[in-house]
Amino acid sequence: MKSTYSKYVFIAAMSLLAACSAEDTDTLGDAIHEPVVLNASLTGAQVSSRAITNTGNTADDENTSWGTDLEIALAFSDKNMTTSTAINDKVKKYKVQENKNPAAIEPFDAANTHYWTSKTKTHYVCGWCTKYVYDKSKAYYNAKVPTGPNVHVNQSTWVHIDSKDFLFAPVQAIKYPTASSPATINFYHQKSMMEIRFLLTGTSYTFSNFTACQLANIYTNSSWEYPATGNYGTHTPNGDLATVKFFRDTEAFRAIMIPQNIGGKTITFTSTIANNEAITFTFPEDYPLEPGKHYILTFNLSQDKVLSLKTQITNWVAAPVITGNLNL
């Protein structure tokens, strides 16, 4: 009788195991508890040979690099996260380890540590960095999915551009890293970049003749919604209209912008041409600035001071070329 009872217990146990899915048995035999350390990648060009500091440089696509003083909000789960609420429930603070792109990111401390639960299962990750710091004492961390990005009105230095770069990594599926397949999370610029250059061939002018640049009546604030699909969230510009003053470096004017339609808006250049004349250009009626795109606007100047504009987007999808005249 005893052997018969044992036989039925054995059969029942085997039947129960057979009823379990392959996924369940894999989980039972593959459970781990290891800290999550990832590679964080910025889309765009890789790091050049230019010397970099612990603050890195995220907005300059020719010298893209993370800075070791950066703090990153990282959501991590073995279940897919499909809403902002689900993401916010899984957030911990991480920090960048190195001046690279991609760069390793690690837990900020023991309390802010995510753990792999399996070496074979799919995990899900999401992250953001809303304020790129240029001073370690001003490190910034936001444990909630951002909702209200903005830009500086007076972007007089490169710092004013870089510090407002909004980097976001939508939910991505990853697996436990191996030597041949590292775990990398991709971050995407959520704002727009503008770069203004001049072609002065055949004239007596140089870039030094252009001393300042500003774009009037545009938005510098927005409400931002998590991307339901794709890599870029939705901006709804809001607040008062303002005039944004561009940063002037040795070869171009630059500014970071809230994505918006700048059709009909006027850009003004202060120059030393003639009697310090202000040179203006009004954009076509429909000219949207889209998130994650870097707009290069090249003005061609003839000796009679008529300029035309050609536009393209670098590193992303090319935009239609447009032409126009500057008004003196």
Residue range 17-32: average pLDDT? 49
> CA-to-CA distance for 190 and 257, rounded, in angstroms?
10
Q: Look over the chain and give the mean of its residue pLDDT values, rounded to a whole number.
A: 80
> CA-to-CA distance for 48 and 306, rounded, in angstroms?
36
Residue range 293-300: average pLDDT? 86
Q: Residue 280 pLDDT > 90, yes or no?
A: no
Question: What stretch of H or E contains 153?
Answer: none
Tens of pLDDT, residues 73-101: 999 999 999 999 999 999 999 988 888 88
pLDDT of 11 reads: 31
Query: Do 209 and 270 contact (CB within 8 A), yes or no?
Result: no
> CA-to-CA distance for 322 and 309, rounded, in angstroms?
6
Going by pLDDT thresholds of 50, 70 and 90, the confidence category of residue 32 is confident
pLDDT of 180 reads: 84
What is 251-295 written as a DSSP string?
Answer: S-EEEEE-S-B-TT-EEEEEE-STTT-EEEEE--S--BPPTT-EE
pLDDT of 232 reads: 93
pLDDT of 12 reads: 37
Query: Do 195 and 295 contact (CB within 8 A), yes or no?
Result: yes
Beta strand 266-271 with 91-96: parallel, antiparallel or unpaired?
Answer: unpaired
> CA-to-CA distance for 101 and 67, rounded, in angstroms?
10
pLDDT of 309 reads: 63
Q: Residue 123 pLDDT > 90, yes or no?
A: yes
Please indicate whether residue 221 or residue 203 has the higher confidence score (pLDDT).
Answer: 221
Amino acid letter, residue 309: L
- Dihedrals phi, psi of 96, to nearest 5 degrees: -80, 135
Instruction: Report the predicted TM-score, pTM, of the whole model to 2 decimal places.
Output: 0.83
Tens of pLDDT, residues 165-193: 898 999 999 999 888 888 888 888 899 99
Q: How much of the chain, in percent, has pLDDT values that exceed 90?
A: 45
> CA-to-CA distance for 325 and 301, rounded, in angstroms?
10
